[in-house]
Amino acid sequence: MKFDAIHMRELNMPLAHPFETSFGVTTGRRVLLVEIEADGFSAWGECVAGEHPYFSDEMIDTAWIITETELIPRLLKADIGSGRDCPAIFEQVRGHRMAKAALENAVWELHSLERGIPLSKLLGGTREKISCGVSIGIQSSPEKLMEVIAKELAAGYQRIKLKCKPGWDENIFAMVRERWPNILLSCDANSCYRLEDADRIAKWDRFNLLMVEQPMWYDDFYFHAALQKRMKTAICLDECIRNRRDARAALELGSGKILNIKVGRVGGFTEAIAIHDIAKEKGVPVWCGGMLETGIGRTHNIALSSLPNFSLPGDVSASARYWAEDIIEPAVTVSDKGEIIVPTTPGRGFEVVRERIEHNTVRSKTIRR
């Protein structure tokens, strides 16, 4: 199949609440969306690259350039059978996985619409509903954090993940564990610790955390393996897993015991599924991470989370935690049991609201075949 046109746009959307991690505070998102038009269908993809190259080496501005000048021209020239054809079409371009994922995921969505089946089914999903946790940013005070946790638990979320950094870690875990001894609790360092912190982290077993996410460098396997040997608590890898080879290498080295799969970080659904399968074969649980997505990326995450080895609660949560008004209808909601129902209608299963997308658009570009 040949595509008629691909539209790019940048949306500027304020977050309902600022989100603070060890690498900085995000108050609003600049989101690159792509829309593919073909055979009377329209399908969307969201690029999760940040405003700055702080989580990974991509950012929205680099993603925009690569999408416009390298990826879309290749895609418009190609004859595409399915989303699985995309990695080969993009292969000559090294890296830029978040940019590639936006387009590849739109191709998968398009294919699911054409076939009249839910995106989740096309990906190999088997779950009718997915288990949800929340990722809670660093707060202005411990008291404020306790309030936020209480609210999320009352809403039904099954797992609380605390963003942490030196000075906002052990003291916080102790306080939270004292009030909630039995909840599923984890932390995410976003690569902020170094070798001199290893002795301290190795003693975090006392907090009974489900996992410690990406404590060391964003590109490291070796020192994560050394740290994992010193602790019972699972290390979960996020930033350092770029592809299926990384997943295999990291698991064989013992760098972690759980994987966070983010479809943008690994370059699209094809690679995300491959990583899921490798983890499954090795008996390693995975869960779906989030990147403060709008409804388009969020619903793609729901579809991915329906695969069988997504056996731990993920970071995919309700639209309202991020946006005053999401760009899809209905917004993503979570039941009081902390679950999202996987749509059973064709495609992503949620309608895009074009007026809202237009309203938030600050630049756009159409490239035709």
Distance CA 17, CA 23 (A): 17
Beta carbon nearer to ligand OSB, 36 or 291: 291
User: Which residue from 45, 43, 39 is spatially nearest to 4, judged by alpha carbons?
Assistant: 39
- Least separation in angstroms between CB 114 and ligand OSB: 29
Alpha-carbon dihedral sign for residues 152, 154, 160, 163: positive
CB 290, min distance to ligand OSB, A: 2
Interacting partner of 168 out of Mg ion, ligand OSB, none (Cβ under 5 to 8 A depending on kind): none
In the complex with ligand OSB, the residue whose CB is nearer, 3 or 233, is 233
- Residue 79, φ and ψ in degrees, nearest 5: -110, 115
Of the candidate spans 148-156, 212-220, 221-229, 335-343, the one that interacts with Mg ion by CB under 5 A turns out to be: 212-220
Least separation in angstroms between CB 57 and Mg ion: 16
Q: Which does 339 bind (CB under 5 to 8 A by kind): Mg ion, ligand OSB, none?
A: none
Segment contacting Mg ion by CB under 5 A, of 8-16, 25-33, 71-79, 210-218: 210-218
* Mask for 154-193, x = binds Mg ion (CB under 5 A): ----------------------------------x-----
Instruction: Establish if 271 lies at the interface with Mg ion (CB under 5 A).
Output: no
Nearer of residues 125 and 256 to Mg ion, judged by Cβ: 256
Scan residues 26-55 and list those touching Mg ion (CB under 5 A): none
122 with 56: CB under 8 angstroms?
Answer: no
Q: Tell the smallest beta-carbon distance from residue 73 to ligand OSB (Å).
A: 29
**Which tokens sit at 305?**
């989370």
Kindly compute the dihedral angle of the four CA atoms of residues 246, 252, 257, 262, in this order, to the nearest 10 degrees. 10
- In the bound state, the residue with its beta carbon closest to ligand OSB is 290
Beta strands in 168-284, from DSSP E residues, in sequence order: 184-188, 211-213, 235-237, 258-261
Least distance in Å: CB of 188 to ligand OSB? 5
- Residue type present at position 353: V
**Bridge pairing between strands 24-38 and 361-368:** unpaired
Q: Which is nearer to ligand OSB, 73 or 285 (CB)?
A: 285
Q: Which residues from 186-205 bind Mg ion, rule CB under 5 A? A: 188
55 binds, among Mg ion, ligand OSB, none (CB under 5 to 8 A by kind): ligand OSB
- C-alpha distances in angstroms, 256 versus 199, 235, 307? 17, 5, 21
Quick one: 111 exposed, middle or buried, by C-beta within 10 A (0-12, 13-18, 19+)? buried
By C-beta, is 137 or 347 nearer to ligand OSB? Answer: 137
The CB-nearest residue to Mg ion is 238
| Catalytic sites, residue numbers | 163, 262
CA distance 341 to 127: 9
Residue 178 corresponds to which tokens in the numbers above?
Answer: 């004292």
CB of 316 to ligand OSB, least distance (A): 7
Residue 343: Cβ-neighbour burial (10 angstroms; 0-12, 13-18, 19+): middle
| Closer by beta carbon to Mg ion, 122 or else 312 | 312
